[in-house]
C-alpha cells in the first residue's frame, strides 16, 4: 500500500495530478472558512454555539454536512455543492418528463454536454435563490432558530450589504463548480464527489471529538469499533458484483481475426451508488425548509404543524418510513436511468456477442433486466438500512443526530474513496502492473 | 472606500459567474459521479479554453482580494 503510494508520487504526471487536486482542495477549504464580507463573525460564532446545544441543530444537518460546516459560518463558499447537486437532480428527473431532454440524452456525447451546460445555468439560478434565502434568514435572525434572536448576524442591515453578500455567495458557488470541473479535468477522480468528500472529512474529526467530550471514552470506543465494522461492510457490498458471462463470436475483418474472447458484464449489487441517498435526503430537506420559512407567521397552520411534527427531526416513524421508501424507489429509478438493458443487448448483438444459453436481442435484454431487477432488490434495501443507521444509533446509544458514522457520510466516504483509488490505480497500471488493490 | 470595494466585488463576482459559465462543462453531471467508471479525458484544451482559464484565474484573484479587503474594512 505504502510502496504503491510512493510509486504514485514518483510517476511524474500522476504526481502532478495529485498535487493539483490537493491544491484545489486547499483553496476550497480556505474559501469555506473565509467569512462573507458583512457577516459579524463574532456573533455568528456565538449563535452557532447556541444553536448547536439546542434541539434545532438537526434541521440543517444535511446541508451542514454537505457544506462542511461552511453554511452556518456564512462563508464565501457557504452554499457548497448543494446547488449543483440539486440542479443535477432536477435535470435528471426532467429527462424522463421532457421529450427534448430525452432526445438530447440519446444523442450521446454532444447531447450530454448540452445537458451539463443546462445544469450549470440552473446551478447559478438556484445559487441566487438559496443565497438570497439564507441571507434573508440571517438578516431576520432566524437562521439559527429562535434561540439566538438577539444577536445581529449582519453588521449592516441596509439593502446594499445584503446585495453584496448575495452576489458574493453566488459567485462562490460558480467558483466551486469551476474548481470541481478543474479536478475532473486535470486532477484525480471526479471533482464534485471529491469536493463533497473533502467537506465530510473536514467536519469528521470535530464530530468525533464532540462524542468523546459529551459521552466519554467508553461510548467513543464503541462508536469507533462499530464504525470500522460498518466501513468494512460497506466496502464489501460496494465491491460485490455479479458477472454475467459474454462470449464473442470469431469473425474475420479483412485478414485479421477479431473476437473469439469471453468476457463478462459486471453488474454491481449497488449499481446506483449513493445517488439515491442524496436524492432522498435532499427531497426530505424541502419540507423542513418550507417550515422554517413559514413557521414565524402568527396564525398556526395545521399543515405546517403536522410537517414540523413529523419531518422536523429525523427520528419520527413517518420520516424514517418515507426516507426508506424514497431510497428504495430512487435506487430503482436511478438504475433504470443509468443501465439500459435493451441498449446493452443491442450493442452486444452488433459486435457478435451473446450470453451463453440465451439468444441475442430481446431475450438477452429480458434476461439482463431480470437479473438487474433481482440484484437491485438487496442493493436498495442495503442502501436504505445503511442510511437508517444514525437513527438506530440515536435510539440505542443516545448518540446525537449528527452521528459521524452516519449512513450518508459513510457511503459517500467509502464510495468516493474507492472510486478515486481505483482511478489512481488504473493510471499506475499504465506504467507497471501493481496497484493498491490486489 | 467601502462602497468602492463593494462595487468592485459585485462587478468581479458577476464577471466570475460569466466566465465560469463560458467554460465548457467538464463535470459530466451526476452520471459519472460516484462509481461511474473512468471519466474520459478529452486531450489537451484548446487555445480559447486556455485563455479563458487565464482570465478566470485573474478574475478569481481580484475577487478574492476584494473579499478580504472588504472583510477587513467592515471588521467591527
Domain boundaries, chain B: 48-75
Residues A57, A171 share a domain = yes
Indicate whether A240 belongs to any domain: yes
What is d(CA A91, CA A332) in angstroms, rounded to the nearest whole number?
A: 17
Range of the domain at A324: 216-405
Please tell me chain B's helix, strand, coil percentages from 3-state DSSP, rounded to the nearest 5: 65, 0, 35
Indicate whether A422 belongs to any domain: no
Q: Is B8 on the interface with A (CB under 8 A)?
A: no
Across B1-5, average pLDDT:
84
Whole-number pLDDT of residue B39: 39
A217 contacts A230 by C-beta, under 8 angstroms: no
Q: Which of A14, A24, A26, A37 to mutate against chain B (most B CBs within 10 Å)?
A: A37
* Cβ distance of B16 and A175 shorter than 8 Å: yes
What is d(CA A245, CA A265) in angstroms, rounded to the nearest whole number?
A: 6
Closest residue by Cα to residue A420 from B42, B43, B34, B28? B34
Indicate whether A354 belongs to any domain: yes
User: How far is the first Cα of chain A from the last one, in angstroms, to the nearest whole number?
Assistant: 10
User: How far is the first Cα of chain B from the last one, in angstroms, to the nearest whole number?
Assistant: 16
Closest residue by Cα to residue B35 from A401, A271, A153? A271
Confidence tier at B2 by pLDDT (50, 70, 90): confident
Residues A221, A194 share a domain = no
Number of domains in chain A: 2
* Cβ distance of A119 and B14 shorter than 8 Å: no
Nearest by CB: A171 against B26, B63, B76: B63
Residues in chain B closer than 8 A to A275 (CB atoms): 30, 33-34
CATH number for the domain that contains residue A263:
1.10.3370.10
Residues A230, A186 share a domain = no
Question: Residue A324: left if φ>0, alpha if ψ -120 to 50, beta else—which one?
Answer: alpha
Distance from CA of A113 to the nearest CA of B (A): 7
Residues in chain A closer than 8 A to B38 (CB atoms): 423, 426
* More confident: A87 or B48: A87
Indicate whether A398 belongs to any domain: yes
Residues in chain B closer than 8 A to A171 (CB atoms): 12-14, 16-17, 63
Whole-number pLDDT of residue A264: 85
Q: Which of B10, B12, B30, B67 to mutate against chain A (most A CBs within 10 Å)?
A: B30
Confidence tier at A21 by pLDDT (50, 70, 90): very high
**Set of cell numbers at residue A189:** 477522480
Decide if the complex's ipTM is over 0.95.
Answer: no
**Set of cell numbers at residue A174:** 460558480
Q: What is the pLDDT of residues A380-393, one digit of tens each?
A: 998 888 877 766 66
Amino acid at each position: 500500500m505504502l510502496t504503491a503510494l510512493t510509486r504514485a508520487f514518483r510517476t511524474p504526471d500522476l504526481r502532478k495530478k495529485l498535487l493539483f487536486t490537493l491544491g484545489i482542495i486547499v483553496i476550497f477549504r480556505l474559501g469555506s472558512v473565509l467569512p462573507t464580507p458583512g457577516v459579524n463573525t463574532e456573533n455568528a460564532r456565538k449563535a452557532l454555539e447556541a444553536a448547536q446545544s439546542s434541539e434545532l441543530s438537526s434541521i440543517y444537518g444535511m446541508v451542514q454536512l454537505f457544506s462542511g460546516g461552511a453554511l452556518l459560518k456564512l462563508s464565501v463558499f457557504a452554499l457548497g455543492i448543494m446547488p449543483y447537486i440539486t440542479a443535477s437532480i432536477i435535470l435528471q428527473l426532467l429527462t424522463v418528463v421532457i421529450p427534448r431532454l430525452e432526445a438530447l440524452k440519446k444523442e450521446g456525447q454532444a447531447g450530454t454536454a448540452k445537458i451539463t451546460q443546462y445544469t450549470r445555468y440552473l446551478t447559478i439560478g438556484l445559487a441566487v435563490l438559496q443565497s438570497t434565502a439564507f441571507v434573508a434568514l440571517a438578516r431576520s435572525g432566524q437562521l439559527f432558530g429562535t434561540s439566538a434572536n438577539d444577536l445581529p448576524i449582519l453588521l449592516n442591515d441596509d439593502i446594499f450589504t445584503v446585495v453584496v453578500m448575495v452576489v458574493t455567495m453566488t459567485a462562490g458557488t460558480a467558483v466551486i463548480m469551476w474548481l470541481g470541473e478543474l479536478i475532473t479535468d486535470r486532477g484525480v477522480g471526479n471533482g464534485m464527489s471529491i469536493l463533497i468528500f473533502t467537506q465530510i472529512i473536514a467536519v469528521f474529526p470535530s464530530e468525533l471529538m464532540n462524542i468523546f467530550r459529551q459521552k466519554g471514552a467508553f461510548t467513543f470506543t464503541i462508536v469507533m469499533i462499530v464504525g470500522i465494522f460498518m466501513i468494512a461492510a460497506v466496502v464489501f457490498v460496494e465491491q460485490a458484483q455479479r458477472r454475467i458471462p459474454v462470449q464473442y463470436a470469431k469473425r474475420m475483418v479483412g485478414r485479421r481475426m477479431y473476437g473469439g474472447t469471453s468476457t463478462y458484464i459486471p453488474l454491481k449489487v449497488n449499481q446506483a451508488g449513493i445517488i439515491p441517498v442524496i436524492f432522498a435526503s435532499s427531497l426530505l430537506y424541502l419540507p423542513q425548509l418550507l417550515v422554517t420559512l413559514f413557521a414565524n407567521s402568527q396564525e398556526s397552520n395545521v399543515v405546517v404543524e403536522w410537517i414540523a411534527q413529523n419531518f422536523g427531526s429525523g427520528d419520527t416513524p413517518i420520516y424514517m418510513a418515507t426516507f426508506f421508501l424514497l431510497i428504495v424507489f430512487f435506487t430503482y429509478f436511478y438504475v433504470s436511468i443509468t443501465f439500459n438493458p435493451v441498449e446493452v443487448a443491442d450493442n452486444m448483438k452488433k459486435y457478435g456477442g451473446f450470453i451463453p444459453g440465451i439468444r441475442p436481442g430481446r431475450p438477452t435484454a429480458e434476461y439482463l433486466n431480470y437479473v438487474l431487477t433481482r440484484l437491485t432488490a438487496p442493493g436498495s434495501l442495503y442502501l436504505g438500512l445503511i442510511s437508517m443507521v444514525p437513527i438506530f444509533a440515536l435510539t440505542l446509544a443516545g448518540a446525537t443526530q449528527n452521528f459521524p458514522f452516519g449512513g450518508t457520510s459513510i457511503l459517500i466516504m467509502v464510495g468516493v474513496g474507492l472510486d478515486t483509488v481505483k482511478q489512481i490505480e488504473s493510471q499506475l497500471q499504465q506504467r507497471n502492473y501493481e496497484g493498491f488493490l490486489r | 472606500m467601502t462602497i468602492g470595494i463593494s462595487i468592485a466585488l459585485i462587478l468581479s463576482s458577476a464577471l466570475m459567474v460569466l466566465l465560469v459559465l463560458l467554460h465548457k462543462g467538464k463535470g459530466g453531471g451526476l452520471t459519472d459521479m460516484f462509481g461511474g467508471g473512468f471519466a474520459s479525458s478529452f486531450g489537451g484544451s484548446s487555445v480559447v479554453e486556455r485563455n479563458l482559464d487565464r482570465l478566470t484565474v485573474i478574475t478569481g484573484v481580484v475577487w478574492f482580494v476584494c473579499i478580504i479587503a472588504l472583510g477587513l474594512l467592515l471588521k467591527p
